Structure 1
Amino acid sequence: MIRPLIAALLSLAWACSAVAQGLSGPSSVESELEPGDGLSDPQYRSDFPQNVTPRWFRWKNQLAENGFRFNVDYLALGQASNADLGTGEAASGIARFYGTWQAAERGSLTFKIENRHSYTDVAPQFLGLDGGALSITGTAFNDTGLLLTNLFWTQRSEDGGWTLQVGQIDVTDFVDVYGLVSPYSGFQNLAFNTNPTINAPNQGLGIAGGLKLGSNLYAVASVADANADPSDPSFDVFSDGNLFKSLELGYTSGFDRIYFDNIHLTIWHADAAEDGSRPEDYGAAFSAAWFVDNQWMPFFRAGASKGTAALYERSVSAGVGYYGRNTDLAGLGLNWANARGIDGDQFTLEAFYRFSVSPGLQITPSVQYIVDPLLDPTQSSVALIGLRTRIVF
């Protein structure tokens, strides 16, 4: 079963000679190395921290001219909740070192090393759960320690028609992405990141390919380790046979706007764990987002799954993002969801405003409001306020 899956993926990746999307969503290393969210001519209020460490940035630019680009950044998130249960507060940080090395004309090596740590007993990722809501309120801000989240080779065709990645990959970099998907620069709640009905694995060994099927159509497929643990990378994935598989078919206005103007359908399947810790799961997700006048990004996203391992069995999200002056970004999203084995429906509202002080400094206050929290029906609602900062060197 495994070999035919890998062979089919390789055939998909090598089959076409047009322009592919590059497997680089907003949270990928490739995208985060480009300031300004991929917008043309981004404007900022300041050039901090470049103006206080000019030698460092001149050295980085010299390395970039020779094909080696990297960033060192630090993100921190603090949240407070009015929930009747739990601690009511959470804070954590993420230190990251990531980059790419253009080792060949059409091949490159991508890496990312992270240290995720919590300042409080409960990390923001779990503050909603701690307060009685079935909700990941601080995606990626946990206490998992030192992680190898990317170490893969990318190969592209001469005309850009296909892209292939092999190595330590993060499927959430390219599975079911849209312009506001990144928890580092956009929404914080998982309801508005990668679809919460998708049982996406942690970062681990895998292979992924993307290609163009027409002037506006593309396909992306992946096979990855369903049991991945980036704190202890394993290379015995395909012999074990516990895999996550995905296939996405999409439409875009142009391949330079792949996650700005995007409509796609994603289907996925995750094998059951051999030790019984995770049942088999599968489902489908739909996403539509379009960048209007290079300012407004309305979106609609929905998903359904067998519901045995993913956070939600069914989920529908809608909202809008607005890019203002100085590449500021405002976002407003509303989600409805239910979960297997739990009666009732849960509604989540999130609003945020990201102040882009400079290419290297962002400050993002946010509000989340969860109605009818599924894990504690005695509460009618739970509210959270948050503050996220990011500094890039």
Structure 2
Amino acid sequence: GQADWTAGISDAGRFGGPGSVGDTIADDREARDPVFRLPALDEARKDWFTWKDRVQKEHGLAMGFDYTAAFLGATDSLGDRRASGGMIRSFGYWDLTGRGTANTGAFVWKLEHRHRYGNIAPNALASSIGYVGVFEPPFSDQGLRFTNLFWRQRFSGGRATITGGFLDTTDYVDTFALASPWTGFMNFAFSTGTTTIALPDDATLGVAGGTMLGKNLYLLAGLTNANADPKSPFSEVDSFFSDNEYFTSVEIGWTAEHSRIYFDNAHVTLWHSDSRQKANVPGGWGAAFSFVRYLGERWMPFVRGGFADDGGTLMEKSVSAGFGYDLVPKRGLLGFGFNWGQPNENTFGTGLGDQYALELFYRMNLTEQFTVTPDIQYLNNPALNPTEDSIWVFGIRARLAI
């Protein structure tokens, strides 16, 4: 069996993370055992996915849509204590070459509208309460924007993939099954690089690729523009060639086999970011590591961490550990994590103490396509808050996927 959080992420041709287009579509297609069974809704779902399957089989076009809302509140704050926002997304891929084989060539897209409901969006709450970090990073007030717009080519029976165009680096850098802000942890300390990687913005122009090196070892690498503007991605094309400011990464990893790359995985990621003159962001480099195992088809313990030498990152050193537990198969996922972090002195100045965070969430499928995730965080010693030693953050997230 497969755990609820990794259902659908088992195509041997995939290297992208759980938030990538292909894996999101596959995961949303998986049958669930929801809390509520509504015959009319189940029939409508069956008809809808039958039509989508037919379109994909006949034309090579796979697509998905979702709407996600997030609400967070803190017990104390330097400014706003509540944040809320939503996001509607259209995403998909169109196999234009090699259809019916494992070596497909596809156009991939993801278009979003990000908006806040109240005074601030969810991704602004951490700075409002004086915490060095970010909650629900994609949930901003950015409006209409692109995340993906690229070509994906698979080789060697799906054992190798290369992508080129406007990429989201979190799709291939230090990926982790519980890192998706739509379905997993809300605190970015449990996501890409545990806040120690100087990631460029989404829709960054570049190339990335991955390949299996035998049965167990794999290699991932990428080079993208350190400057990106997801609201107007083509405006930064010139800067890719003229500014020579790049984000590069190389990852070497081990997995039990390609199809279990998110179940049993250990990897080390090295990265480098050039200084960005227009944005006045220093260059830097660093490393991240991740160790994940899948035990008894229900438990997924993990240990992840990283360090940075400048680069304008949030943390200089950070380590996260915890687990995911498939509490009710195909219905409910429990996640728990602990993080220790040392704020980047070059970003925030000297003299700041270490930060600690605990997070607990429970994601449940109320219906097959509608999930609700209550979440609670305990933050100890928020480094930029001079008056509070500890803060609680309560959140809830709801996602409708079609």
Please give the TM-score of this superposition, normalised by the length of structure 1. 0.90
Counterparts of 1:168 and 1:175, CA distance in 2: 15
1:180 aligned residue: 178
Indicate yes or no: 2:213 matched with 1:218.
Answer: no
User: Where in structure 1 are there 5+ consecutive unaligned residues?
Assistant: 1-18
Establish whether residue 44 from structure 1 lines up as the match of residue 37 from structure 2. Answer: no
Structure with the higher helix share, 1 or 2: 2
Shift of 1:56: 4.0
User: For 1:183-262, what aligned pairs fall within 5 Å after superposition?
Assistant: 183-195=181-193, 196-203=195-202, 204-234=204-234, 235-236=237-238, 237-262=240-265
Residue 385 of structure 2 is matched in structure 1 by 376
Q: Secondary structure at the match of 1:102?
A: strand
Aligned position for 2:4: none
In structure 2, relative to structure 1, the CA distance for the partners of 1:301 and 1:158 (3 Å cut) is closer
SS at match of 1:35: helix
Distance 1:214 1:255, change over 3 A: same
- Aligned pairs, number: 373
Residue number in structure 2 paired with 1:31? 23
Change in 2 beyond 3 A, CA 1:219/1:47: farther
Aligned to 1:115: 113
Partners of 2:198 and 2:311 within 8 A in 1: no
Cα deviation for residue 140 of structure 1 reads 1.2
Alpha-carbon distance between aligned partners in 2 of 1:43 and 1:324, rounded to the nearest angstrom: 12
Cross-structure match for 1:391: 400
CA distance in structure 2 between the partners assigned to 1:238 and 1:295 by the alignment: 47
Q: State the Cα distance separating 1:259 from its structure 2 match.
A: 1.5
1:345 equivalent in structure 2: 354
Counterparts of 1:1-393 in structure 2, within 5 Å, are 22-35=14-27, 42-46=32-36, 49-52=41-44, 55-66=47-58, 67-105=60-98, 106-195=104-193, 196-203=195-202, 204-234=204-234, 235-236=237-238, 237-275=240-278, 277-325=280-328, 326-339=330-343, 340=345, 341-342=349-350, 343-393=352-402
Q: Distance in 1 between matches of 2:80 and 2:278?
A: 33
Aligned to 1:13: none
Name the amino acid aligned to 2:198: N
Residue identity in the other structure for 2:199? A
Deviation string 1:129-153 (CA, Å, 9 cap, x unpaired) is 1011112122211111111111111
**Structure 1 counterpart of 2:306, which letter?**
G
With 326-335 and 215-224 compared, the bigger mean Cα shift is at 326-335
Taking the aligned partners of 2:111 and 2:383, their CA distance within structure 1 comes to: 35
Deviation, 1:37, is 9.4
Asked if structure 2 preserves the Cα contact closer than 8 Å seen for 1:224 and 1:243, the reply is: yes
Whole-Å Cα distance in 1 between the matches of residues 241 and 300 of structure 2?
39
Q: Residues 333 and 351 of structure 1 are in contact (CA less than 8 Å); yes or no, is this contact kept in structure 2?
A: yes
Alignment partners' CA distance in 1, 2:33 and 2:42: 15
One-letter amino acid of the structure 2 residue matched with residue 165 of structure 1 = T
> Aligned letter for 1:79?
L
Q: Deviations over 1:49-100 (max 9, x none)?
A: 5544665444323212221111111000001111142111010001000011
RMSD: 1.9
Aligned residue type for 2:357: T
Deviation at 1:179, TM superposition (A): 1.4
Equivalent residue letter for 2:121:
A
SS of the residue 2:398 aligns to: strand
Instruction: Give the TM-score, by structure 2 length.
Output: 0.88
SS of equivalent residue, structure 2 residue 269: strand
Deviation at 1:23, TM superposition (A): 2.5
Q: Distance in 2 between the 1:206 and 1:47 partners?
A: 45
Deviation digits for residues 183-230 of structure 1, max 9, x if unmatched? 110001000011200011112211001011121000000001111111
Q: What is the deviation of 1:307?
A: 3.0
The DSSP-based 3-state class of the residue aligned with 1:79 is: strand
Q: Deviations over 1:8-27 (max 9, x none)?
A: xxxxxxxxxxx976331111
Q: CA deviation at 1:46?
A: 4.8
**Aligned amino acid, residue 174 of structure 1:** Y
Q: 1:84 to 1:72 in 2, by over 3 A?
A: closer
Q: Which letter maps to 2:268?
A: L
Alpha-carbon distance in structure 2 between the residues aligned to 1:95 and 1:36: 15
